[in-house]
Amino acid sequence: MFNIVIFGAPGSGKGTQSEYLINHYGLFHISTGDVLRDHIKRGTELGKIASSYINDGKLIPDELMICILENVLDEHPEEEKKGVIFDGFPRTTEQAKALKEMLERRGGKVDVVIGLDVPEAELIDRLIKRGKESGRSDDNMETIKKRLEVYHNQTSPLRDHYVAEGVYAAINGTGSIESIFDSIKAAVDNCRK
Ligand code: AMP
């Protein structure tokens, strides 16, 4: 079991690089954003609650989000054994604490945090471009600005938390997708030794 947190601002390439990680290491991928969008698509009660937060660029409350994540793990015991890529979770210190406790109870830990660094102007360009292609409701200028603010205020402090734990690997998230993945692979392989 080898668990990776892929960490970075909206638009930093977490989803794209997760695809490469899945293909290369065969790990189980949990994108909390995808889980929520699936609920919205299916019109579940949770989807109704989540859509107002997502459209507003705000985070789903910690207690609810932590519960959703643990449910996904409970529903996939075999996949969890392979190791998990956590994409979009944790986003707050409360979530990081919960993830640590959750994994400890399950006999695991966060083995490496891959932090993707991308300058703000490039993040905005990428998100606007993605909005045109994907039609995601939160990829519009107003919501993008709010999401970046939320990231700076609530999520980016986690970097120091994971640096202090000795598991943070800073990766330059600009350049070709392949060259970024080469740097990620080097960081992951270094931790797997
Ligand atoms: P993402 O697809 O990771 O960019 O997430 C899209 C939106 O889903 C975020 O802007 C939040 O509203 C919500 N979301 C996803 N993951 C989390 C999380 N770990 N905690 C709270 N809200 C989340």
According to the model, what pLDDT value does residue 134 have? 86
Structural fold of domain 4-188: Rossmann fold (3.40.50)
Residue 95 has pLDDT above 90, yes or no: yes
Percent of the chain surpassing pLDDT 70: 100
What confidence category does residue 135 fall into, taking pLDDT thresholds of 50, 70 and 90?
confident
12-26 tens-digit pLDDT:
999 999 999 999 999
3-class secondary-structure state, position 188: helix
Structure tokens at 24: 């290369």
Average pLDDT over residues 75-88: 96
Q: Which residues are catalytic?
A: 14, 91, 130, 136, 147
Domain spans of the chain, in order of start = 4-188
Distance in Å from the first CA to the final CA of the chain: 13
163-186 tens-digit pLDDT:
999 999 999 999 999 999 999 999
Instruction: Note if the pTM is more than 0.85.
Output: yes
3-class secondary-structure state, position 8: strand
The 10 Å Cβ neighbour count of residue 157 is: 12
Q: Which residue is closest in CA terms to ligand 1's atom 14?
A: 33
**How far apart are the C-alpha atoms of 145 and 32, rounded to whole Å?**
20
What confidence category does residue 41 fall into, taking pLDDT thresholds of 50, 70 and 90?
very high
Pocket residue to mutate for ligand 1, from 60, 66, 93, most atoms within 8 A of Cβ: 60
* Atom from ligand 1 closest to the CA of residue 14: 3
**How far apart are the C-alpha atoms of 95 and 61, rounded to whole Å?**
10
Residue 193 has pLDDT above 80, yes or no: no
According to the model, what pLDDT value does residue 80 have? 94
